[in-house]
A and B are shown apart, each in its own frame.
Chain A
Amino acid sequence: MTKVPVQFTLNGSEKAEFIDSGTTLLNALRDKIGDTSPKGGCHQGTCGACSVIIDGELRLSCLTLAETCNGATITTTSGLAEGGVLHPLQRAFLDTFATQCGFCTPGMIMAAKVLLDHTPNPSREDVVEALSGNICRCTGYEPIIQAVLSAARANSQNAA
């Protein structure tokens, strides 16, 4: 199979790989680069577990071809904590018991981060809308919604 080169910035580090043409970004991240924080729940763009941030936008890595990401800046949940200090969203997910099995958590945090980056003080409806592409089968969603609202409050208090 034809190999193609891809090069992008992942969580602040330069990455370069030769991949099979047609490889999804999800498989490239997990199998080639070793970042297993995006999860494969459906491989058809319906569960949101593979969500990553590409150039500031929320993307489903299972539906994104890796070769289309040349030169992109990609963020995954494994890259959020800085110097061992959890991101406010990660802290909020811990404090509000927003994780159970944890499989949807990295994708949820990605979706929440894009929301808060664009809308620092979201309404509950904003949060529900932002998480609507991410499936959780354990929590019933409420603790996750509360986590995002609580992270937003913490951010605005820090800013004030």
Chain B
Amino acid sequence: MELRKNYFADVRKDDLHEIGQPRPRSDSPGHVTGKTAYFADRNFPGMLHLKMVRSPHHHARIRSIDTSEAEKHPGVVKVLTAKDVPHNVYTILILIQVGPEDETVLADGKVRWKGEAVVAVLAETERAAQEAAAKVKVDYEVLPAVFDMEEALKPGAPLVNEYHGQNYYLYDSGECRKVRFGDVEAGFAEADHVLEQSYQSSPIEHAPTETTGCVVVPEGNDRFTCYTNTQAMFFTLDNTSIILQMPGSKLHFVGGTVGGGFGGKVDVIVEPIAILGAKLTGRPVCFIYSREEEMQISSPRAAEKVIIKDGVMKDGRIIARKVTGYTDAGAYSRHSPYGAQKGAGHYPGPYTIPNVWIDTYCVYTNRTPSSAMRGFGVTIGDFALEVQMDKLARLIGMDPLEFRFINAYRDGDMKAHRQPTEGAALIECMQEASRVANWPVAEKYMAMSSYKNGA
């Protein structure tokens, strides 16, 4: 690997001992010998299998639940419904005061997405649990559902989540996160060209090779050991403590080995109910998503819609940018209010624009709840922004890379959300990209620097 020395030479010591050097991964010897212990590699005598009865409807009221036939099924040890969960309504980010609690561990009176957990069945074998789950009778009254974010925001749309009271997350800034910088309308009036485009994405499933799950063992000292592949150990421990109304000192979480996560294992979704099952039966419990559940039930990346309106001058300067972003949380918040907020902070991208207006909405629909995935809140936004940049360059007949040099943020530039730019290396990254990709740009751009006094 080549470490070029011409960038930022004044602040570089070049005494790097690790960067640029191959070093063995500490976990690889376990991986190649099959000795790495994933949560499902723990097997305990008398372990019960947990299977979930799930909603077949996108939106429905639950009139009644009859578990009597399931309870009689051979091998069934326990059947759990909402009334068994000590604190059934929760939300993950309550730990950092981002409420309200808006999601049920087991559905209580209503389901808001197709696949929502309604009844948990614990049995001696996976097969018995599956068969018994099929015998649970739930009487539903199907309600109108909404799947499109802009439809959900219209007056008269079905109300997805009563804990919010409207189909968007109410920030302290109001119905959306807002950034206001300069005068965007004056910018559009002054611009040589104005281009408004909209960009949309579908939900994306992480599809880890190891599905979500946990194995719980009740210990002799009244504690519970939970082997889990969560990516969010302490979020999970603390939320489990709240849901089960159990001191955290009773919960011993063992994790750190994850068979692929990509953000898909940050929800608190299998551990609380499996620990409750272990508590109420006194037996070890495993709750492991099937591949179908991993694909259909686990949170995907949110669907997003991004509308970008730009005012650009013939010389290449973007002088106004207005962005409206919609993040589809699905039926529950999970991490999406944070994702939508990140979007607001991330626009208008790594460019210095004097007039900016940003609104980002976190919207509730009757779709599968979305959550974290690799750069959620900004990845789709970056796709939209960079496609928009290419379109703008084409509009004014400019090379797309040179167009980005003109607009790139540099140290000292004020960003739209009032943070001065520091340590920007975008100019240098693009210079190196230009060189490596053999995409030449004019010499004046190769002479630029992120230090504004440099060039």
Binding site for B on A (CB under 8 A): 30-31, 34-44, 46-47, 49, 76-78, 80-81, 86, 89-90, 93-94, 97, 99, 101-106, 109, 135-138
Contact = CB atoms under 8 A, between A and B. Distances in A.
Nearest to B37: A36
B260 A137 contact: yes
Given A36-B37, A103-B38, A109 B210 contact: no
A90 B209 contact: no
A16 B89 CA distance: 49
B35 interface: yes
A135 B291 contact: no
A99 B28 contact: yes
B33 A42 contact: no
A31 B211 CA distance: 18
B207 interface: yes
A102 B30 contact: yes
Interface residues of B, number: 31
Contacts of B260: 101, 103, 137-138
B156 interface: no
B210 A41 contact: yes
B258 A93 contact: no
A77 B30 CA distance: 11
20 contacts: A30-B43, A37-B33, A37-B35, A39-B210, A39-B259, A40-B40, A41-B209, A41-B259, A47-B209, A47-B291, A49-B209, A76-B34, A78-B35, A94-B28, A99-B25, A102-B31, A102-B259, A103-B210, A137-B208, A137-B260
B10 interface: no
B281 interface: no
Nearest to A134: B209
A78 to B, nearest CB: 4
Q: Which 5 A-B pairs have the closest CB atoms?
A: A37-B34, A102-B31, A103-B259, A36-B41, A78-B34
A90 B32 contact: yes
B34 A137 contact: no
B24 interface: yes
Count chain A CB atoms within 10 A of each CB in B208, B210, B290, B291 and give the residue with the most.
B210
Contacts of B22: 97
Contacts of A78: 33-35
Contacts of B182: none
A136 B262 CA distance: 13
Nearest to B34: A37
B86 interface: no
A44 B290 CA distance: 10
A104 B209 contact: yes
Contacts of A99: 25, 27-28, 31-32
Given A36-B41, A137-B260, A41 B291 contact: yes
B29 interface: yes
Interface string B33-54: 1111110110100000000000
Contacts of B261: 101
Given A41-B291, A76-B34, A94-B25, 17 more contacts: A34-B43, A36-B37, A37-B34, A49-B210, A81-B33, A86-B32, A90-B33, A93-B31, A101-B258, A102-B31, A103-B208, A105-B34, A106-B31, A106-B34, A109-B32, A137-B206, A137-B260
Contacts of B36: 102
A77 B34 contact: yes
A64 B318 CA distance: 62
A67 B35 CA distance: 26
B209 A39 contact: yes
Nearest to A76: B34
B287 to A, nearest CB: 14
Contacts of A44: 291
A63 B126 CA distance: 17
A34 B40 CA distance: 12
Contact of A39 (B33, B38, B290): B38
B259 A80 contact: no
Nearest to B41: A36
Contacts of B290: 43
A86 B28 CA distance: 12
Nearest to A109: B32
Nearest to B261: A101
B68 to A, nearest CB: 25
Contacts of B262: 137
Contacts of A40: 40
A13 to B, nearest CB: 15
Nearest to A41: B209
A94 B28 CA distance: 6
A93 B211 contact: no
Contact of A31 (B31, B32, B43): B43
A148 to B, nearest CB: 13
Contacts of A94: 24-25, 28-29, 32
Given A31-B43, A40-B40, A41-B291, A101 B210 contact: yes
Contacts of B258: 101
Contacts of B34: 35-38, 76-78, 105-106
B374 to A, nearest CB: 11
A137 B209 contact: yes
B31 A105 contact: yes
